[in-house]
């Protein structure tokens, strides 16, 4: 059977408190106080759809760095950093997928996530031995003091679709395409323009979604009353419940849309909810995942008995627990480019990227691949023709050596208030890796006092710099405190 063989997700650590944003805008838009409950996931300044997709994929694929079994990578997003560059190709490079793995972007609609899932299912149905990685991520910007600013959230999900050892079998699906414009964003526009809520709810969700799901269930030879988990993202309260009632799906099957903890993650949200549902699914459960956008697309899965043997590295639940409250609304505006601010003279530099150098060192820059001497075993980054071993500087003996999935810790560090930083102070230091090798790199997702020599860290694919003059985003890896290892060490110390 064709189906899901692995899944994972990612939710940024920062959580903007909606009350803080609503209070900051209360003088201008007092109606926002009605949405002041809960929090929304807030990407750091160095995160975007690509970096979040990479994190979700790593969560699904596990800590190993052998990914030769992945034959293709599909990225679904409506907030791609590049309009004319293969964004999925950057994801594939960061994950060090094989060069013969295909890559494609799916965009242009809020149902792009489920469309990407359907595309992968179709590919594997035609080639049962294939394994297709599906990633969905969105970092949607909204005007300050808008309801969308509070409704939105940043997140990602990833699935591996295959034909062997499936965790959930695909048993049916359906699609309806209709040019129903609930919102749109023009090619030259920064923000969405939304239509009236009642129209979207009554003419869109109520009339386009139920028939699609009915056809999906019919193709799966399944009954609505047998659905154990019903997934339908919507920012409007009660929409999923009313659709379920109309279809005679039991109320308890309607999944929490995570609005109070994450927000609505655009085209990725249906897959975020699906990944979350699979974490607690049981063998035999019938799952329906649907997504609305210029029509509707739905897929039906039957969970297998292999579900108990799989766990993502952290999963959506794990990322939800690893949270930091953020009540600084101005920081949110700065991180999302919604306010102009004086960056100072130290920010005045040309960030032009030498594309020739990027291509020649692609695996090192995007994949964090160094070198290991086949004669002496010395590990180094960057990889060079001559080994750094002072006692035996061998020539042309290095093989590729991947650092991204290896445990590491801080050797030395600095918190620099003098250099320009989007989130001062600028933390950086020498990172040493288990098994050998060291890299001088930035440290992100930290506050003053979070870093010390010996702090366990993990690698995270992030935005290094942005060339605002040319519109080019430069990526590299950064160190992030490994809070699971820190907590485990603290628990062990307390026990002793």
For residues 135 and 16, membership in a common domain is answered with: yes
Say whether 142 sits in a helix, a strand or coil: coil
- CA angle 9/119/124 to nearest 5° reads 95
Alpha-carbon distance of 213 to 205, in angstroms, equals 11
Q: Could you report the per-residue pLDDT of 26-61, keeping only the tens digit for each?
A: 999 999 999 999 999 999 999 999 999 999 999 999
For residues 211 and 280, membership in a common domain is answered with: yes
For residues 186 and 47, membership in a common domain is answered with: yes
Is residue 434 a part of any domain in this protein? yes
For residue 216, the model assigns a pLDDT of: 98
User: CATH number for the domain including 96?
Assistant: 3.40.47.10
For residue 266, the model assigns a pLDDT of: 98
Using alpha carbons only, how large is the chain's radius of gyration in Å?
Answer: 23
For residue 155, the model assigns a pLDDT of: 98
pTM beyond 0.95: the answer is: yes
Q: Which residues have a Cβ under 8 Å from the Cβ of 445 and sit 6 or more positions away?
A: 13, 44, 460, 480, 481
Q: Which residues have a Cβ under 8 Å from the Cβ of 444 and sit 6 or more positions away?
A: 44, 46, 427, 460, 462, 478, 479, 480
Is residue 80 a part of any domain in this protein? yes
Is residue 206 a part of any domain in this protein? yes
For residues 453 and 326, membership in a common domain is answered with: no
For residue 64, the model assigns a pLDDT of: 87
Q: How many domains does the chain have?
A: 2
For residues 419 and 319, membership in a common domain is answered with: no
For residue 275, the model assigns a pLDDT of: 98
Orientation angle between helical segments 239-247 and 206-219, nearest 10 degrees: 50
Alpha-carbon distance of 274 to 272, in angstroms, equals 5
Is residue 385 a part of any domain in this protein? no
Residue given tokens 């307390």 in the structure block = 494
Residues (pLDDT < 50) of the chain are none
Is residue 282 a part of any domain in this protein? yes
For residue 490, the model assigns a pLDDT of: 84
For residues 312 and 446, membership in a common domain is answered with: no
For residues 255 and 324, membership in a common domain is answered with: yes
Is residue 83 a part of any domain in this protein? yes
- How far lies 318's CA from each of 1, 111, 114, 157, 311, in Å? 29, 25, 23, 13, 11
For residues 49 and 100, membership in a common domain is answered with: yes
Is residue 94 a part of any domain in this protein? yes
For residue 158, the model assigns a pLDDT of: 98
For residues 315 and 363, membership in a common domain is answered with: no
Alpha-carbon distance of 140 to 77, in angstroms, equals 10
Alpha-carbon distance of 74 to 102, in angstroms, equals 8
For residue 492, the model assigns a pLDDT of: 80
Q: How far is CA 204 from the centre of its chain?
A: 28
List of E strands, 119-268: 132-138, 155-162, 168-177, 183-184, 193-194, 227-231
For residue 12, the model assigns a pLDDT of: 98
Instruction: Give the end of a domain, one of 286, 312, 335.
Output: 335
Taking a C-beta distance cutoff of 8 angstroms, is the pair 7, 167 a contact? yes
DSSP state string for 269-334: HHHHHHHHHHTS--TT-EEEEEEESSEEEEEEEEE-GGGGG---SSHHHHHHHS-EEE--HHHHHH
For residues 9 and 128, membership in a common domain is answered with: yes
Query: Residue 484 phi/psi, 5° resolution?
Result: -70, -45
Q: Could you report the per-residue pLDDT of 450-492, keeping only the tens digit for each?
A: 999 999 999 999 999 999 999 999 999 999 999 999 998 888 8
For residues 299 and 443, membership in a common domain is answered with: no
For residues 435 and 329, membership in a common domain is answered with: no
Range of the domain at 179: 3-335
Is residue 41 a part of any domain in this protein? yes
């Amino acid at each position: 059977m064709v189906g899901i063989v692995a899944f994972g997700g990612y939710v940024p650590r920062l959580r903007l408190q909606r009350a803080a944003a609503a209070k900051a805008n209360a003088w201008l838009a007092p109606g926002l106080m009605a949405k002041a409950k809960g929090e929304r996931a807030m990407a750091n300044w160095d995160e975007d759809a690509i970096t979040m997709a990479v994190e979700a994929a790593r969560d699904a694929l596990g800590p190993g760095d052998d990914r030769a079994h992945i034959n293709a990578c599909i990225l679904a997003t409506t907030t791609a950093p590049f309009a004319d560059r293969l964004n999925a190709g950057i994801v594939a490079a960061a994950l060090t997928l094989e060069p013969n793995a295909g890559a494609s972007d799916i965009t242009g609609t809020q149902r792009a996530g489920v469309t990407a899932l359907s595309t992968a299912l179709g590919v594997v149905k035609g080639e049962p031995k294939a394994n297709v990685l599906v990633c969905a991520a969105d970092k949607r910007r909204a005007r300050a003091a808008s309801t969308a600013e509070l409704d939105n959230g940043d997140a990602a999900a990833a699935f591996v679709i295959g034909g062997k050892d499936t965790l959930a079998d695909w048993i049916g699906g359906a699609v309806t395409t209709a040019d129903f414009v609930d919102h749109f964003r023009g090619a030259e526009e920064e923000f969405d323009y939304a239509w009236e809520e009642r129209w979207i709810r009554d003419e869109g969700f109520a009339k386009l979604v139920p028939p699609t799901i009915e056809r999906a269930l019919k193709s799966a030879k399944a009954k609505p009353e047998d659905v154990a988990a019903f997934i339908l993202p919507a920012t409007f309260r009660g929409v999923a419940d009313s659709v379920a009632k109309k279809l005679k799906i039991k109320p308890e099957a309607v999944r929490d849309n995570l609005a109070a903890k994450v927000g609505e993650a655009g085209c990725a949200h249906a897959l975020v909810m699906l990944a979350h549902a699979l974490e607690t699914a049981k063998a035999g459960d019938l799952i329906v995942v649907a997504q609305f956008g210029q029509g509707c697309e739905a897929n039906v899965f039957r969970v297998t008995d292999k579900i108990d043997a799989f766990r993502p590295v952290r999963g959506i639940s794990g990322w939800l627990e690893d949270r930091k409250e953020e009540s600084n609304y101005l920081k949110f505006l700065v991180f999302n480019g919604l306010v102009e601010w004086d960056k100072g003279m130290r920010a005045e530099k040309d960030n032009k990227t030498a594309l020739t150098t990027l291509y020649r060192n692609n695996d090192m820059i995007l994949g964090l691949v160094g070198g290991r001497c086949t004669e002496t075993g010395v590990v180094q980054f960057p990889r060079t023709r001559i080994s750094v071993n002072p006692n035996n500087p061998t020539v042309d003996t290095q093989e590729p050596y991947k650092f991204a999935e290896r445990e590491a810790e801080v050797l030395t560090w600095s918190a620099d208030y003098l250099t320009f930083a989007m989130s001062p102070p600028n933390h950086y230091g020498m990172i040493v890796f288990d098994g050998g090798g060291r890299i001088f790199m930035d440290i992100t997702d930290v506050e003053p006092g979070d870093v010390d020599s010996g702090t366990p860290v993990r690698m995270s694919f992030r935005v290094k710099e942005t060339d605002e003059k040319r519109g080019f985003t430069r990526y590299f890896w950064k160190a992030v405190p490994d809070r699971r290892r820190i907590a485990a060490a603290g628990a062990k110390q307390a026990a002793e």
